[in-house]
Amino acid sequence: MAKNREFAYRRLHSLLGVIPVGVFLIQHLVVNHFATKGPESFNDAAHFMEGLPFRIVLETVVIYLPLLYHAIYGIYIAFTAKNNVSKFGFFRNWMFMLQRVTGIITLVFVAWHVWETRVQAAFGSEVNFQMMENILSNPLMVAFYLIGIISAIFHFANGLWSFAVSWGLTVSPRSQRISTYVTMGIFIALSLVGIRTILAFI
């Protein structure tokens, strides 16, 4: 009974990491990428998102609550998982370990990013190009954001591989090998989007 319950919790954790959290990550990267076209384009995209009807309800139900569950259960998995990297050193064992490490880094980064943007907006600050430009005027914050964004993207992309396995979409070794190439391609493509966005604010 307990094993069945834990299996269900893990599958829910995996599902929420892709839908809606992973979908939101892609959407967030795409919207922020408007910064590469200049301050006006970014501000228009940001204001459009802020002007969505029932935004607070949507953010809470679609983003914050699923993200909270994924983060809390993810911490449990990270600190109870048995990594075999030092013993075996196989590629998937390294991916397993990196999934846990990037999960923790992503959690810290997301919490800080929410504090610097959404919480400050609640206190009256405007989330715009200048806000991000000011944040990234510090080289240490540039490094922190690059590490955080790349960690979040890796965690999502590698999580897609695990999601496909745990939900029975990739059963055979060949399908899992193909899935590795696809998810690493997604990681590289989204990382380029994220890095270009950060550089646009500098």
User: Is the predicted pLDDT of residue 86 greater than 60, yes or no?
Assistant: no
Q: Is the pLDDT of residue 188 over 90?
A: yes
DSSP readout, 82-129?
Answer: ---TTTT--HHHHHHHHHHHHHHHHHHHHHHHHIIIIIHHHTT---SH
CATH of domain 2-201: 1.20.1300.10
Neighbours of 129 (CB within 10 A): 19
Beta-carbon contacts of residue 38 (< 8 Å; ≥ 6 apart): none
Question: Would you state the pLDDT for residue 50?
Answer: 82
Neighbours of 89 (CB within 10 A): 9
**Reported pTM:** 0.91
Q: Give 54's pLDDT tier (boundaries 50, 70, 90).
A: confident
Q: What's the confidence (pLDDT) of residue 84?
A: 57
> What pLDDT is attached to residue 122?
86
